[in-house]
Amino acid sequence: MEQKIILTDGKGKEQEITEEQHSDWEQLGDPCPECGTTEYRHFTAEGGRYGIKEDAVIRRSDYWGTERSLMTQCLSCELVLYRHPAFDLLYDSPQE
């Protein structure tokens, strides 16, 4: 499945970003549908609540926190298994 989004900046310049989800792959640990391996290049975005305790910065595990997958690609055959559209804004897209 692929979904394309067109972004337009304040100067009218357009940029296309794409969300991709390979139909035969669901999550890390599942074998690559192309070559069967289970080694991936995987990017995530992570957030949470942080605070200070005894002069040290700590991540508060008793409050909201989140992790979101941005891109997963097979290391063996380089098939993109998942790509969040924000990935294109943050990184150069991997070659397929």
- Residue numbers of the domain that contains 61: 2-90
Question: By C-alpha distance, which of 71, 76, 78 is closest to 92?
Answer: 71
Report if pTM > 0.85. Answer: no
Instruction: Please count the structural domains in the chain.
Output: 1
Does residue 64 fall inside a structural domain? yes
pLDDT for the residue 59: 80
How far is CA 5 from each of CA 55, 69, 86, rounded to the nearest angstrom?
A: 44, 18, 10
Does residue 18 fall inside a structural domain? yes
Strand partners, 72: 42, 82
Segment 66-85, tens digit of pLDDT: 788 999 999 999 999 999 98
Does residue 95 fall inside a structural domain? no
Does residue 36 fall inside a structural domain? yes
For the segment 49-67, the average pLDDT, to the nearest whole number, is 81
